Every structure is written in C-alpha cells, then in structure tokens.
Chain A
Amino acid sequence: MLTHALYIQLAGSAAAVAVLVGITAWANIARSAPPLDEDRARKLLADEFPGRTLDGLWVAVDGMGAIAKCGGMALVLCRLGDGYVARQVPWGQALAASLKDGRVIINLDDVAAPRAVIALAKWPPKGPASNNLGKDRAA
C-alpha cells in the first residue's frame, strides 16, 4: 500500500526528474546531428544494413531521413532525437505511402517504430528506381 512516506518520496523524485530534464535541455549537450547528405545517408545505411547494395536513394529535403531501394525492400532511415532509426519494409509498402504537405509517412508496421516521416519534394519516384539515383534525390 502507498504510505505517506512513499507519496513524499515519489513527489520528490518526480520533481527531481523535472529539474534534471530541464537542466539537460538547458545544457544542450546532445550529439551534433547535422542534416543528412547523400554520403552520410549511405554511411548510416551501410552501418545498419551491411553488405546491401542500394538501387536508389532519396534523401529528405530537411536532411532528417532517407529512403533507399534495395531489391524488393525499402530501407528507411529517420531521425529520432540526435540519432537515427532504421527499418526495412517491402518496397511496395514504401511506394504506397502518399505525399502530403511535402511529407511521406511510411507505415513501418512495428510497435517500436510505428512510422517514418520523410520530407520529400515528390513521391513515389517515377520509372525504375535505379535510374532515379541522383535525380529524384531531393537533398
């Protein structure tokens, strides 16, 4: 049962959490996370999916994510905090994502990473993806 002392302890801890989060925000000591360019997107994708060959790459206009075609799969990279999260989904699933207000929202079908939001000038790419490399790339 919750005792009076426990309530006090919890209230104190909650206040400490709030103060620490505030100080973290003020300290501004997150990792440097410059917008992605093609080279950095390729490096991150190579770390996440070693040995994969990319048929096409589309980097977000704001540098906060990227989509790559790799055979029948889409490799999706999106920013979270000062890091990146990667998932792969069937290419058709990525193609089915619609572009609204300059953002493609891809359903990742994963409770741990429900969706990726990638800012692109246009989507889906036209023609064979391998021919679009460097053309549809929006960055």
Chain B
Amino acid sequence: MKPGFDPVTLATPFFILTVLLEIALARLNLIKSRYETKDTAVSLTMGLVSTLAGLPLAAVIAAVGLWAYQHRLVTIPADAWWAWVAVFLLEDVTYYGFHRLSHERRFWWASHVNHHSSQHYNLGTALRQTWTGQVAGTWLLWVPLMWLGFPPWMVAIEKGISLVYQYWVHTEAIRRLPKPIEAVFNTPSHHRVHHARNPRYLDRNYAGILIIWDRMFGTFQAELDEEPCRYGLVHNLGTFNVLRVAFHEWIGIVRDTVRQPRHVLGWLFGPPGWSPDGSRDTSASLKAQWAAGQSAPPTSTDQEAAA
C-alpha cells in the first residue's frame, strides 16, 4: 500500500541527480566508479518498469494489510515516538528476514536475482529492481506488523525509508565510514560484500539499515582489503536483454521442474543452485570448495612462488 507520503517517489529526483553526480565525478577521475552503457540501460529500465510491476497486485496487498490491521492485537498510536522507534526496528529485522529468504531459497531468489545481475556496483545498480517481487509474495512478511497493531501506512512509510536508505550504499566511491557507523549501520563497504560473487562473500550482509542483525544472526562479513569484491552472479548473465534479466531464473525453475517434476519441491524451495544429483553449485558448496582450497597444504608451485 502506498501512503500519501511516499519516500521513494519523493526521492526519485534525488536518485537521478546522484547517478548524474556519480557519473560526472567518475568522468573527472575524482571518485572510483565505473558505468558501462548497456549495463546502465538495463539497470535503469529495470527500475523504471518495476514501478509499474507493483500495480496489478497493489489492491490485493492493501486489502490484506487492512484486514490484518482490522484484526490487530493492540492499537499502536502513530503519534507516539516509541511507536516509530519500534516500527523502525521491527521493519528492519523483517527486511533482514525477507532479504535472507530471497537469497537462500530459489523461489524468492528468482525474483531478487536481477538486482544482483550487474557486474558493476554503482548507484545505477541500486535501481535494478525486481519486476516479480509482489508475485513472489514476500510482502506477506510485513503483514504481521499490521496484525500486531501498526497502521499499514506507517509500515509502508518505514519500508519506503528503508528502500531510500539502501540506495546510497550502492557505490564504490565511499570506502569506509567511521568505525561506530560501520559497527551499527549498513554501509557501502558492507553492501559491496553483499553484492560480491567471491565465495567467501556469498550470502552475507543482508542488512537493510542496521548491520546489527547480520552480526546477531551470524551472517556478517567485513570487506577485506586483500580480497577485492568481484560483482555479479556466480554464473553471470550472458545477455543485456531485460526480459531475460527479469525472468531467467523463473524460466529456469519451470524448465527444471518440467524435466524432473518429482523434484519440484527441491527446484522451488531448495537453495539457488540446488540439484538432485548435486551437480550444480550452491553458495554452500562454493564456500566449502573455497575453504578447502584455503586450508590445503601449499603445493610446490606455491612454495616456489613464496620463495
């Protein structure tokens, strides 16, 4: 449900101006940032169409939210300061759960994957948004907040604030912020790790605004100077066709299920890369391979190189 005050709509001119600024500063060699034309076109087109993609189910989502609020456990006053603190924290931890689910189960990854499909990491990448998020049904995760007693418009505003916050962390121009900020908040450094395809960085830093959830739930990984982030997917896309970008994982699910229907649950709800015979790569298997490589005794070639 979109409230009268929609942070994302209000921030749209800011998005455009800051992308322009990042491009200009990179052109002048004042910051580290790279933009590739077709990649940028895909990111911005995905963002533009995503604003329409939410419309078909908007009425259903609003109705479900209102229904939950009508059956609320308690009435939380929207004019109380503590209510805003509470909705901020609860919305942020809900986002963490949504984001983790979106990476760890293929059905929801199919919707989220396109946000990670650029080999670049810049403010344009932030706008590479899903077209199928509402179909995937992850909006249901926020319904308990309304059932608890937060007005739907309050939850919607908080979701919007979170989305706007997450925009600015998609940049290589900002290296590290002061330690107290890095300790508590999701920052460009933390989110670069999240977008990296290096095995040690996979499935880490799901935070929306506060990084504390990752620290609490064991999914935090600091960005390491000795391991620069390589962005994109484990198997990067071989096309700039926006339809393939938007739907490739959904098509993959359908193909796999048609090929082996008795494994439908695994194809749908297994981790991305799951296969019945284990012949494909999952984040866990890639991390295990990487860890095995790290702990393997040095070969003669390694020793010669070290000498």
- The A/B interface has a contact count, at CB < 8 Å, of 116
Nearest neighbor of B34 in chain A, beta-carbon distance: A31
- Interface residue? A62 (CB, 8 A): no
A30 to B36, Cβ gap below 8 A?
Answer: yes
Also in contact, A83 and B119, with CB within 8 A (given A30-B37, A50-B289): yes
B27 to A112, Cβ gap below 8 A?
Answer: no
Task: Kindly list chain A residues whose C-beta atoms are within 8 Å of the C-beta of B9.
Answer: 9
Considering only CB atoms and an 8 Å cut-off, how many residues of chain A contact the other chain? 37
Interface centre among B20, B37, B119, B124 (most CB of A within 10 A): B37
- Interface residue? B248 (CB, 8 A): yes
Q: Is the interface of A mostly helix, strand, loop or mixed?
A: mixed
Also in contact, A113 and B237, with CB within 8 A (given A21-B40, A27-B26): yes
- Interface residue? A86 (CB, 8 A): yes
A-B contacts, 8 of them at CB < 8 A, read A20-B20, A30-B37, A31-B34, A50-B293, A81-B36, A81-B38, A82-B119, A87-B238
Residue ranges of B at the interface with A (Cβ–Cβ < 8 Å): 9, 12, 16, 19-20, 23-24, 26-27, 33-41, 44-45, 47-48, 51-52, 55, 119, 124, 230, 232, 235-240, 244, 248-249, 251-252, 255, 289-290, 293
Residue ranges of A at the interface with B (Cβ–Cβ < 8 Å): 2, 9-10, 13-14, 16-17, 20-21, 23-25, 27-31, 47, 50-51, 78, 80-87, 108, 110-116
Across the A-B interface, give the 10 residue pairs with the lowest CB-CB distance, nearest first. Answer: A113-B238, A83-B119, A112-B248, A30-B36, A85-B238, A17-B44, A27-B27, A81-B36, A25-B37, A24-B40
